[in-house]
Amino acid sequence: MIVVLSRGAGPGDKERIRAYLRDRGFAVRDQRFGEDEILGAAGKGAVDLRELGILPGVERVAATSKPYELASRETRAEDTIVTVGGTGGIPPVPIGGARITVIAGPCAVESREQILETARRVRESGAVILRGGAYKPRSSPYAFQGLGMKGLEYMKEAGEACGMPIVTEVVSPEFAGDMKDVTDMFQIGARNMQNFELLKKVGALGKPALLKRGPSATIEEWLLSAEYLLASGTRDVVLCERGIRTFETYTRNTLDISAISVVKGLSHLPVIVDPSHAVGIRAKVASAGLAAIAAGADGLTVEVHPRPEEALSDGPQSLFPGQFEKLMRDIEALAPVVGKELLRTPRAGGGSAPRRGGGGTAGAGETKGGPESPAEKPIAFNGERGAFADQALTRLFGEEAPRVQVHSFKEIFDAVLEGSAGAGIVPVENSLAGSVHENYDLFLRYPDIAITGELKLRIVHCLIAAPGATLDSITLVRSHPQGFAQCREFLDQRPHWRLEAHNDTAGAAASVAREGTIEAAAIAGEAAARVYGLRILKEGIETNPLNYTRFLVISRRTAGGGGWTHPSLGSDRPTKASVVFSVPDKPGSLFLCLKSMADRGINLSKLESRPIPGKPWEYQFYADVSVPETEGAFDAALGELKTRTEDFRFLGAYRAAP
């Protein structure tokens, strides 16, 4: 059990709490958990938690049955998100939550040129944290031991050049103090997982720590090592599964995939996987990494070397840059299936790499980075907390992003236009129900609004109800009409249930939570159940599992015609654009417009006609098109398209969602 003391607790309050616990049979110890002062109580004593919780100086009490109290999910039910970097112009990188974070770099820093080249290559492919060993613990005393602090300085230079925080292994308590101001995150290697003096030293420094599982460590031993770090002062610990030693010798280690879900059930700490050390064979690393993502890992740490055959350490398991780039593309495609998004961050200073395709695209309306990031302002969405739009917002901007709820799609556009919101999230298409025409039409009414991003969110419907409810107790089900339509087969099996339509699925869940009756249930997402403290009675009740909604990020155009590029794009160039146009009423008009794009290798992914307001029987066309890599091709196509249309509007360029 742990007792978190309030910030205003004085010495007298603490002593009274200690005496209260000791009198009831507990051994008491002082601890720190980041900025929180804590009293840990161990033993077979008995105490009334409610009585303890109201003592002067007590902020809250957490009782746990686990020996790892601070790391236990019983102490903290919500997932911890660890933030690395965020100082000296380096963008902060979150690990955990709705994002998949990829760390990459060589096993060891071998030279300034090598680490700079590797950092550039992995950054281009999408890595957001740079890894590398300055000090290398090796089995043989004659093997390469690293460049020491000089290597760490090279690594810091590479990280700053590419806008990435760095993580490196600390092998001795005596080195930790010197490394503290250079590295952004300490790595505790597998061999040092139970080096308790090192754990206490690193924890006391308060920096994020990446804790690798020892080759023969049980899950409980691993979590107890995390407890050392947490009890010593840091709040930011990331667990890393890197394979365990078994009887199998074909691979370097045996990757314990089951440990990912087990640990995430036992602990609130984020879990990543090191597939390079898990298998030790270059050709097997990508498949092991993808398996880890599918199993629920919050990220990967991968060894990459520009010339693995020349590597001084772990060359056989290091990926070539081209292999790493393919792995990142595969992760991006897999992420939506497991309900996550691949994390991408802007480069240091908020800049971005030059985009192929020329500046003319931006002149046509491409968003190229505005004066302020929506991180400084809330993001607008329609509906209640826990709605699918809220989930999309979290996937794109992170759990900590400020947000504002509105009651209509028009209010999102208004908030962005007026500047009370830095960006907005709007649904435009469902894979089963088709287009959300209202939002397409709003783009024409708000010419100063641009599309700056895209997300395809899988819609998984759950039947959720108050604690104590069962399928047999339900008589009334609430949801959005689309929710009912998408779960028709499930509902048809229960014709006695009465259906009540609501404006959104999360609002239906909120009403069930307010009433607390066991007779009512809602059809909504898992996130709504968490937000409103409801119980999931049945998950995945949608008729068609291939149910996706496409959301767009919108922001206000800058004075130069662009808007803001949201963080998930990082420095990537746009790969998709949206336009709307009308054509003259004569044969072949639409054909000639499409030919302008086809002749330049521009693919058309969507074309839809809509009536022109105020002009009966006249139509305009919304089109989503690819942005080719060929220099100038897209600008030339737009220039020709304008000459062949009666009205043309460029809605925005952005990176296509997988």
In angstroms, the CA 38 to CA 59 distance is 10
AA identity, residue 252: R
Q: Give the pairing type, strands 166-169 and 129-131.
A: parallel
Q: Give the pairing type, strands 237-241 and 647-654.
A: unpaired
Residue 412: closest CA among 435, 434, 394, 438: 438
Looking at residue 351, what DSSP letter applies? -
The one catalytic residue among 80, 118, 549, 645:
549
Bridge partners of residue 267, in order along the sequence: 72
Q: What is the DSSP string of 434-491?
A: EE-HHHHHHHHH-TTEEEEEEEEEE---EEEE-TT--TTT--EEEE-HHHHHHTHHHH
Alpha helix ranges (H) inside 249-359: 258-266, 275-279, 282-294, 321-334
Q: Do 157 and 341 meet the contact criterion of CB atoms below 8 Å apart?
A: no
The one catalytic residue among 551, 581, 634, 648:
551
Q: Would you state the structure tokens that stand for residue 343, as one six-digit string?
A: 């994390």
Q: Do 281 and 288 meet the contact criterion of CB atoms below 8 Å apart?
A: no
CA dihedral over 149, 154, 158, 163, signed as positive or negative:
positive
Looking at residue 376, what DSSP letter applies? G
In angstroms, the CA 405 to CA 304 distance is 43
Determine the longest span between alpha carbons in the chain, in angstroms: 93
Catalytic, 394? Answer no
Q: What share of the chain is helix, strand, coil (3-state, %, to 5)?
A: 35, 25, 40
Q: Do 563 and 367 meet the contact criterion of CB atoms below 8 Å apart?
A: yes
Q: What is the DSSP string of 402-423?
A: -EEEESSHHHHHHHHHHTSSSE
Burial class (CB in 10 A: 0-12, 13-18, 19+), 465: buried
Q: Would you state the structure tokens that stand for residue 259, as one six-digit string?
A: 């440990």
Catalytic, 475? Answer no
In angstroms, the CA 253 to CA 255 distance is 6
**Tokens 């308590």 sit at which residue?**
173
In angstroms, the CA 434 to CA 428 distance is 8
In angstroms, the CA 167 to CA 82 distance is 13
The separation between the first and the last C-alpha atoms of the chain, rounded to the nearest angstrom, is 45
Measured N-to-C along each axis, helices 149-162 and 112-125 cross at an angle, to the nearest 10 degrees, of 30
In angstroms, the CA 492 to CA 500 distance is 15
Q: Would you state the structure tokens that stand for residue 137, as one six-digit string?
A: 């613990």
Residues identified as active-site = 549, 551
